[in-house]
A and B are shown apart, each in its own frame.
Chain A
Amino acid sequence: MSETAVIDRFEGDQAVLLVGESERQVVVARSALPKGSREGHWLQVEFARDKLLSAKIDEAGTAKAKERIARKLERLRRGEHRNP
């Protein structure tokens, strides 16, 4: 089954993925991720239990998340949440 995941961070030669809506944490080998993977990249992944079968960078999903989150950050910076 294909799921979405996001790369939270790299720790040495390992990568910490947050998988699905609940952001279940799964640690995988960095080498198992596609070339060019960076922190914050959204991925389409397939797991068998916690073994990563496949991973593909989702550039469009990454851009969409970044845009949505950047808008929220901008609202905080402008203090709109304090003066609704």
Chain B
Amino acid sequence: MGQGDAELIVSPDGRIALIDGGEADSGVLGYLQSHGVSKLDLVVATHPHADHIGGLVQVLKTLPVAEVVTNGQLTTTLTYEHFLDAIAEAGSEYVEVKRGDTIPFGNLTFQVLSPQSTTGDDLNNNSIVLRLVYGASSFLFMGDADQAAEASILSMGLPIQADILKVGHHGSATASSPAFLGAVKPEIAVYSAGAGNPYGHPHPETLAALSATGAQVYGTDVNGTVVVAADNVGVYKVEVERGSSPRAPPTPGTGVTITPAVSGSWGLLILKVISVTSPVAPGGRATLMAHTVPGANCAIKVYYKSGSSKAAGLSPQSADANGNVSWSWNVGRSTTPGSWRIVITATAGGNTMTEETDFKVAK
């Protein structure tokens, strides 16, 4: 989308939030529409610069938006005026937030870490900074908050650790102080910057500081749209449009980040073996528990020396509303002892993911 910033967030219970919308021609609306988003529960404008709210105007004119959240700081651009006009026209609930406020989002809650106030005239530093926690997974969305805002947040002693960080201010060196990044301790850091942008974003010192935290760093300039799926046990999956792990482009370069675990219609799947009985004596009973997205169709194959097991209890199942699925089966008395392979698959929204594990049959 060129230079700009937009993050789409889908909650486990299917609520959809958009934080910023990139520039006016960012392609964010097209991205939403091509992914079947017909309405938004929440839109957050972190601050009123055109590279964050420009794309929101078209979104508000096209899709029903239940609630729009801002920091209440005005600017004098026509882009901002059109943004206000579009909110009025859409009839969305309009809410202003500051540090200490919370924004309900389905069964999750955004904590507002910044701004403390909007009295200063530095629009970037007055960005809304949001932290979201989903079980063992945490997220931090920085807007364009620079180091002054970071220092203010640090001085409050608020919880700011985040596994997944939307890096502040497009990777500018005016943000992402080593002290702040050290407190956030991200595992995954995503910045949004237009390829060949005239501002030099991301700045090399910021990339170095991000790498120094040990985080995996992604950028929309090199990776296109970055999708992060996370579940409540701290399992992450990152898909990028291009770069190290190419995926089919929905709309080229929309620069959107999608977070928590969602149904497969987003092309996001998680599959993890939680536990398996091992070892099992011949004639005993084994149980495998796995975690995936709610409603995923799941299948299991257990491969013994003699071939795949025909045991009752190994039939396909749907994951429950929490994404849990389990199978229990009898291991035949004559089963050859040894370490045997189990393959499970989960299918949702036309995507399939496979995981393998072993279990031991004792002598």
Contacts and interface: CB of A to CB of B under 8 A. Distances in A.
Chains A and B are bound partners: yes
Interface in A24-81: 25, 27, 38-42, 62, 65-66, 68-70, 72-73, 75-77, 79, 81
A27 B88 contact: no
Contacts, number: 85
Given A12-B199, A72-B85, A82 B93 contact: yes
Given A9-B49, A9-B50, A14-B199, A66 B76 contact: yes
Contacts of B87: 76, 81
B200 to A, nearest CB: 8
Nearest to B80: A69
A77 B84 contact: no
B340 interface: no
What size tier do the contact residues of chain B reach?
A: 20 to 34
B88 A69 contact: no
Interface of B is mostly: loop
Contact of A23 (B77, B84, B93, B198): B77
Interface residues of A, number: 31
Nearest to A41: B76
B86 to A, nearest CB: 11
Interface of B: 23-24, 49-51, 72, 74-81, 84-85, 87-89, 91, 93-94, 96, 121, 123-124, 172, 174, 198-201
Across the A-B interface, give the 6 residue pairs with the lowest CB-CB distance, nearest first.
A81-B88, A11-B199, A65-B76, A40-B76, A76-B94, A72-B84
Interface of A: 6, 8-9, 11-12, 14, 16, 18, 21, 23, 25, 27, 38-42, 62, 65-66, 68-70, 72-73, 75-77, 79, 81-82
